[in-house]
């Protein structure tokens, strides 16, 4: 089974340039959690302990995405998110895929956004 958290919007302080880390910018994050295969009956129990509470995952992502620190690359942020999710849910999740889209880039040109995808 897969759980997808789509189009989470945050004002982040990630960036290579100091101004990006001071002023911040908007990013969009998508996370896909791949859980081990279970019989359909597992989900028919209607029991949250049989799956992953995606509200908890959202809280982890939000905290990391909005933190003011010295992280410069969205690639680094994605890798840290994957590690943190695996640490928080060591037996419940097989694979985490994180996509981060950075808007309003400090690039001289016409460009809507830049996006990375990392899984682990």
Helix (H, G, I), strand (E, B) or coil at 48: helix
- Asked if 101 and 115 touch (Cβ cutoff 8 Å), the reply is yes
CB burial of 1-35 (b: ≥16 within 10 Å; e: otherwise) equals: eeeebeebebebbbbeeeebbeebbebbbbbbbeb
Distance set, CA 9 to CA 5, 12, 39, 49 (Å): 11, 9, 34, 27
101 assigned to active site: no
- Active-site residue, from 4, 68, 101, 102: 102
Q: Which residues are catalytic?
A: 102
């Amino acid at each position: 089974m897969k759980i997808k958290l789509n189009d989470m919007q945050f004002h982040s302080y990630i960036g290579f340039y100091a101004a990006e880390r001071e002023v911040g910018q908007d990013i969009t994050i998508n996370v896909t959690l791949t859980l081990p295969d279970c019989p359909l009956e597992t989900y028919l129990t209607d029991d949250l302990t049989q799956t992953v509470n995606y509200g908890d995952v959202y809280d982890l992502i939000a905290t990391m995405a909005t933190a003011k620190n010295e992280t410069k690359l969205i690639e680094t942020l994605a890798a840290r998110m994957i590690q943190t999710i695996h640490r928080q849910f060591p037996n419940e999740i097989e694979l985490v895929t994180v996509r981060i889209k950075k808007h309003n880039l400090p690039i001289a040109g016409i460009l809507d956004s830049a996006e990375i995808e990392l899984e682990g």
